[in-house]
Structure 1
Amino acid sequence: MISTTSERVSIDDPSLAHLLYALMSAFPIFFLPTLVGLFINLGQRTSCSGDMISSHLRWQRHSIIGFMLMGGIGLSLTQIWLSSIVYSIAILWFCHRIVKGWLNLTDGAAV
């Protein structure tokens, strides 16, 4: 006998999150892959079913938006020395977020 129950199956496939972390890590070359990753991430916000993957997508969104805000603050500063300090802090913070999130994703843990 064939059972036709319609249960919602939650599949935590981390391949999209890995792709988005890879796009985020390409920010020193061009900022465009990071923006593409943000748009993909925003498109997947409602269709993500697993708690682990949704926590990584949220982590990535907050990382990219925070990096853009800190970059905007650095751009608005008129002193070059102060602007370069803000940029350096923003880059270090963003790299930390990428590494921490990607390592947690590899371990199968939520952020």
Structure 2
Amino acid sequence: MISTTSQRLAIDDPSLAHLLYALMTAFPLLFLPTLLGLIINLGQKSSSAGALVSSHLRWQRRSTIGFMVLGGVGFSLSQIWLSAIIYLIATLWFCHRILKGWLNLTDGVAI
């Protein structure tokens, strides 16, 4: 007997998440690849991605937005030395988030 009910399948193809992590790692290049990755990520927010890919997309969104907020705080400070410290902390934090997320994606672990 043929069933006519359709089930929504969750696609768990991590290739998009790998591409977005690669774009995030190019943040020293005028921050444009990271912004492009964020735009693509926001476009995929409502797609039917699986649990693994969805958790990594959320991780990437929060990482990029957090980096932009910390960069904005660093930009708004008037003391150069304090601004440089904030930029350094933001950069190290962002690199940590990229590395941790990409390694977990490679291992097949959700964040």
Q: Which TM-score band applies after superposition, normalised by the shorter structure?
A: over 0.9
Spell out, residue by residue over 1:16-44, the C-alpha distance to the aligned partner (whole angstroms, 9 max, x if none): 00000000000012200000000000000
Task: Output the CA distance in 1 between the equivalents of 2:92 and 2:63.
Answer: 12
Task: Output the CA distance in 1 between the equivalents of 2:72 and 2:48.
Answer: 30
After superposition, residues 1-111 of structure 1 pair within 5 angstroms as: 5-111=5-111
Task: Output the CA distance in 1 between the equivalents of 2:71 and 2:54.
Answer: 26
**May I ask how many residue pairs the two structures share in their alignment?**
111
Spell out, residue by residue over 1:34-55, the C-alpha distance to the aligned partner (whole angstroms, 9 max, x if none): 0000000000000033111110
Task: Output the CA distance in 1 between the equivalents of 2:93 and 2:48.
Answer: 26
Secondary structure in 1 aligned to 2:64? helix
TM-score normalized by the length of structure 2: 0.94
Equivalent pairs: percent with the same residue?
Answer: 74
Query: Partner letter of residue 14 of structure 1?
Result: P
Consecutive unaligned residues of structure 2, counting only runs of 5 or more, are none
Q: Which runs of 4+ in 1 moved over 4 A?
A: 1-5
What root-mean-square deviation, in Å, do the aligned CA atoms of Structure 1 and Structure 2 show?
Answer: 1.3
Secondary structure in 2 aligned to 1:83? helix
Consecutive unaligned residues of structure 1, counting only runs of 5 or more, are none
Are the counterparts in 1 of residues 12 and 50 from structure 2 also a CA contact under 8 Å? Answer: yes
Task: Output the CA distance in 1 between the equivalents of 2:67 and 2:54.
Answer: 20
TM-score normalized by the length of structure 1: 0.94
User: Which stretch of structure 1 is more off in the superposition, 15-24 or 43-52?
Assistant: 43-52
Secondary structure in 1 aligned to 2:13? coil
Are the counterparts in 1 of residues 10 and 48 from structure 2 also a CA contact under 8 Å? Answer: no
Query: Partner letter of residue 51 of structure 2?
Result: D
Query: Partner letter of residue 35 of structure 1?
Result: L
